[in-house]
């Protein structure tokens, strides 16, 4: 296991239920195909086998597809949330500064301090 990768997470209840339903569907198709082979109904057995195989392949493809999208969307969601939070924080600070007049008081104090400064070596 790569030490830079986090350990795999346990699947959620929804993921486990979905996996069980897909296994039931694909397994059920396989059982139906075997039953039709037993009763010598070859066309039905072939159709059920193809449906079972197709659903198993689609399920595997879909699971990888969804997992990849889910991870990428989590990353994008986190980045978007952080950007929005930064914007809200900036707006909040601006509103507080305007409401309290703090910025104007600060700038007046700075101007006053600068006016009292006397440079050395410069004739006035």
Predicted pLDDT at 30:
64
The predicted structure's pLDDT at residue 88: 92
pLDDT given at position 34: 65
pLDDT score of 95: 85
- What would the two tokens of residue 96 be? 């507080």
User: Who's near 93: CB < 8 A, 6+ residues apart?
Assistant: none
List pLDDT tens digits, range 96-114: 877 777 777 788 888 887 7
pLDDT tens-digit readout, 15-59: 777 776 666 665 566 666 666 666 777 777 777 777 777 777 777
């Amino acid at each position: 296991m790569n030490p830079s990768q986090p350990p795999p997470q346990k699947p959620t209840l929804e993921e486990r239920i979905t996996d069980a339903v897909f296994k039931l569907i694909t397994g059920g198709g396989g059982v139906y195909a075997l039953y039709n082979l037993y009763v010598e109904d070859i066309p039905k057995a072939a159709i059920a086998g193809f449906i079972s195989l197709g659903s198993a392949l689609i399920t595997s493809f879909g699971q990888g597809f969804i997992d990849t999208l889910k991870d990428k969307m989590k990353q994008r969601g986190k980045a978007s949330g952080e950007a929005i939070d930064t914007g809200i924080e900036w707006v909040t600070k601006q509103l507080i500064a305007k409401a309290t007049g703090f910025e104007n008081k600060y700038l007046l104090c700075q101007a006053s301090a600068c006016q009292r400064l006397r440079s050395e070596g410069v004739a006035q």
